[in-house]
Amino acid sequence: MLIAALLLHIAGALKHHFVDRDATLRRMLPGMPTLPALPAQHHSAVPVLTALVLWVAVLVGGTIMGRSDTGAVEVAELTEVTSDWVVQTGSIEITVVQFGSAVTGSFADWTASITFDEDDPQMTIGAVTTTVAIPSLTLGSVTDQAMGADFFDAATYPTAVFDAVLNRANDGFEAAGTLTIRDQSMPLTLPFSLSIVEGLAEMKGALTLDRRDFGVGSNMNDASSLAFEVNVDVTLTATRATPE
Question: Could you tell me the residue ranges of all domains in the chain?
Answer: 2-72, 85-240
CB 73 within 8 Å of CB 111: no
Successive 10-residue mean pLDDT values, the chain, 244 residues: 87 83 76 63 69 76 55 66 94 96 96 92 94 96 94 96 95 96 96 94 97 94 95 97 76
pLDDT in the model for residue 73: 56
Three-class DSSP category at 233: strand
Q: H or E stretch including 52? A: helix 46-72
Asked whether the whole model's pTM tops 0.75, one would answer no
The pLDDT score that the predictor gives to residue 5 is 86
On whether the CB atoms of residues 104 and 143 are closer than 8 A, the answer is: no
What is the model's pLDDT at position 17? 79
Class of domain 85-240: mainly beta
- Across-strand partners of 207? 232
Asked if 202 and 234 touch (Cβ cutoff 8 Å), the reply is no
Looking at residue 71, what is its pLDDT? Answer: 44
Predicted local distance difference test score (pLDDT) of residue 27 = 76
